Amino acid sequence: GQNIDQPTEMTATEGAIVQINCTYQTSGFNGLFWYQQHAGEAPTFLSYNVLDGLEEKGRFSSFLSRSKGYSYLLLKELQMKDSASYLCVLNTDKLIFGTGTRLQVFP
Report if residue 12 touches other proteins, rule: CB under 8 A: no
Cα 43 to Cα 35: distance, rounded to the nearest angstrom:
6
DSSP 68: T
Cα 90 to Cα 93: distance, rounded to the nearest angstrom:
9
Q: Are strands 44-49 and 31-37 parallel, antiparallel or unpaired?
A: antiparallel
The CB-of-41 to other proteins minimum distance in angstroms stands at: 7
Q: Residue 100 CA to chain centroid, in angstroms?
A: 8
**Span near other proteins by CB under 8 A; candidates 12-20, 26-34, 55-63, 69-77:** 26-34
Q: If DSSP codes are grouped into helix, strand and coil, which group holds residue 81? A: helix
Report if residue 104 touches other proteins, rule: CB under 8 A: no
DSSP 56: E
The CB-of-60 to other proteins minimum distance in angstroms stands at: 15
> Could you say which of 5, 9, 14, 41 contacts other proteins (CB under 8 A)?
41
- If the CB atoms of residues 43 and 105 are measured against other proteins, the closer one turns out to be 43
Report if residue 51 touches other proteins, rule: CB under 8 A: no
Residues forming contacts to other proteins in the complex (CB under 8 A) are: 30-31, 33, 41-45, 48, 87, 91-100
